[in-house]
């Protein structure tokens, strides 16, 4: 709708503008400091450029509202996953575990495969499928073990998935087709998965912990969902598997339809797709009343738990909006253009991912910085190997998703796990990010030499 009218944009911005001062007093002290810095930085950029129009000011507060909507949609989608007891489908891969490397690999692959199919729309399903099974093993809930495996599986999937916007941007500005780049990208993502396994320390236990003797009751049973366990009958397993496949296929199809046919933005497509499929699943499975009750409870009480995230993202959106619209970001293109004549091609491209990551740490969306840098690279006098350039852009965007406290991936995992953005992003994934950037530098070197 935003392509036809600015009314939804201004309305969303007005809602965010009113909500910010309301929730500001109840957020943590550290959040208040960060929010204040971002708001002051955005105001300084707006004042220095003279862009103080009321409409533009209101619109700026809507910059990251789609991320907040995405969190709400993911929380509601989780109800369908819990009520359907879909985590039991993967129970057989976790049971009988003697050492923790096995569930870590399975968790990593679940996130990788689901994210390959639907991008960011797979984070919530991955989290619940993995988390429910790991709790049965006796692992601490919402620990580094599951969040790191889900985040890294997603990050590696968006380096090769044709459904990922990161891949789309990289291919567009490098001039490559997906079929031509898929093979090398797939090898890079596999190398990343191997690194995600080797650098992780949380699975390096001599044996798996003892499962709890009194596991928490399954919420599906209390809601009237079938109590059959995965091992009861082949029919029960087949029925649940079919239901999960239809649910997940519905998410993919709906997101694709909204994005490609109705031209919704990617985040809005995912949010609306998750909501529509959740309520459709509730109606078809006979759980609509439970879904509606859960949705009412979330918007009545549960959403207050997201106060810190909402304040951070509204402020970051305001900052990034005026940094971009004030022309302040032009120095990035100027820097890249000057650097291209001073350093070699391989060194320049190896720095690109780091620049994208650093910009994402202050709230600039990696897609925006990726596009700005890509345009500057195309204007540089150096010849850039298309495959190496695409890898540099894609690596920077995927790692920015992984470590930035303002990325959609981090926001979703924060809301689902209750952990801080610092823990999920930087603390738990910094070493892996450095490892993958080194792998990307090696990939860029080989692509440049062989190309």
Q: What is the DSSP string of 104-127?
A: HHHHHHHHHHHHHHHGGGGHHHHH
Residue 9 has pLDDT above 80, yes or no: no
166, pLDDT greater than 80: yes
Residues 281 and 345 in one domain: no
Q: What is the pLDDT of residues 52-89, one digit of tens each?
A: 677 777 777 776 677 677 777 777 787 787 788 888 88
- Does residue 193 have a pLDDT over 90? yes
Tell me, what's the pLDDT at 4?
52
- Cα–Cα distance, 322 to 222 (Å, whole number): 49
In a domain, 334, yes or no: yes
* 392 — pLDDT class (breaks 50, 70, 90): very high
pLDDT at residue 191 greater than cutoff 90: yes
CA distance 213 to 101: 23
Q: Give the Cα separation of 439 and 194 in Å (integer).
A: 11
Q: Do residues 240 and 377 both lie within one domain?
A: no
The span from the CA of 49 to the CA of 139, in Å, is: 52
Domain end among 285, 304, 323: 304
Q: Provide the number of structural domains found in the chain.
A: 2
Q: 59 with 70, same domain?
A: no
Say if residue 202 is in the same domain as residue 154: yes
Q: Are residues 107 and 27 in the same domain?
A: no
Same domain, 53 and 122: no
**Is 359 within a domain?**
yes
Find all residues with CB under 8 Å of 256, minimum gap 6, and list them: 163, 269
- 219 found inside a domain: no
Indicate whether 56 and 97 sit together in one domain: no
Please count the helices (runs of H) and the strands (runs of E) in the chain. 22, 0
Residue 360 lies in a domain: yes
User: What does pTM read for this prediction?
Assistant: 0.73
For the chain, give the percent of residues with pLDDT over 70: 81
Residues 80 and 182 in one domain: yes
pLDDT-derived band of residue 223, with 50, 70 and 90 as boundaries?
very low
Domain boundary among 287, 304, 321: 304
Q: Can you give the residue range of the structural domain that contains 415? A: 7-63+307-450
Cβ–Cβ contacts within 10 Å for residue 99, how many? 13
Domain finish residue from 257, 281, 304 = 304
In order of 274, 288, 427, the CA distances from 280 in angstroms are 10, 8, 38
């Amino acid at each position: 709708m935003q392509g036809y009218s600015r009314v939804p944009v201004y309305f969303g911005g007005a809602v965010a503008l009113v909500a910010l001062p309301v929730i500001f007093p109840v957020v943590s002290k550290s959040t208040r400091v960060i929010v204040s810095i971002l708001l002051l930085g955005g105001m300084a950029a707006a004042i220095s450029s003279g862009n103080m129009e009321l409409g533009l000011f209101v619109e700026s507060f809507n910059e990251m509202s789609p991320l907040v909507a995405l969190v709400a949609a993911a929380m509601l989608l989780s109800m369908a996953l819990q009520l359907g007891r879909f985590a039991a489908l993967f129970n057989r891969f976790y049971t009988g575990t003697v050492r923790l490397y096995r569930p870590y690999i399975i968790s990593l692959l679940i996130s990788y495969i689901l994210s390959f199919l639907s991008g960011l729309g797979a984070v919530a399903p991955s989290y619940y499928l993995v988390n429910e099974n790991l709790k049965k093993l006796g692992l601490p809930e919402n620990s580094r073990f599951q969040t790191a495996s889900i985040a890294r599986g997603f990050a590696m999937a968006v380096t090769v998935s044709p459904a990922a916007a990161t891949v789309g941007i990289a291919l567009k500005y490098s001039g490559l087709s997906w079929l031509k780049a898929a093979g090398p990208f797939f090898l890079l993502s596999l190398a990343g998965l191997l690194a995600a396994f080797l650098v992780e320390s949380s699975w390096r236990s001599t044996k798996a912990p003892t499962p709890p003797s009194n596991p928490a009751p399954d919420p599906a049973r209390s809601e009237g969902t079938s109590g059959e366990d995965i091992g009861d009958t082949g029919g029960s397993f087949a029925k649940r598997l079919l239901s999960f496949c239809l649910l997940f296929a519905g998410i993919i199809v709906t997101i694709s339809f909204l994005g490609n046919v109705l031209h919704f933005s990617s985040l809005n497509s995912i949010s609306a797709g998750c909501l529509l499929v959740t309520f459709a699943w509730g109606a078809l499975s006979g759980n609509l009343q439970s879904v509606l009750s859960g949705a009412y409870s979330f918007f009545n009480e549960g959403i207050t738990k997201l106060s810190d995230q909402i304040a951070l993202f509204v402020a970051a959106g305001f900052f990034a909006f005026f940094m971009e619209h004030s022309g302040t970001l032009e120095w990035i293109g100027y820097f890249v253009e000057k650097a291209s004549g001073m350093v070699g091609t391989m060194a320049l491209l190896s720095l690109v991912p780091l620049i994208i990551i650093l910009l994402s740490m202050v709230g600039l969306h990696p897609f925006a910085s990726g596009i700005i840098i890509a345009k500057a690279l195309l204007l540089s006098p150096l010849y850039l190997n298309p495959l190496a350039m695409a890898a540099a852009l894609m690596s920077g965007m995927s790692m920015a998703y992984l470590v930035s406290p303002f990325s959609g991936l981090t926001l979703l995992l924060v809301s689902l796990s209750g952990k801080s953005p610092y823990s999920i992003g930087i603390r738990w994934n910094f070493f892996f990010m450095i490892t993958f950037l080194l792998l990307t530098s090696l990939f860029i070197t080989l692509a440049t030499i062989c190309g």
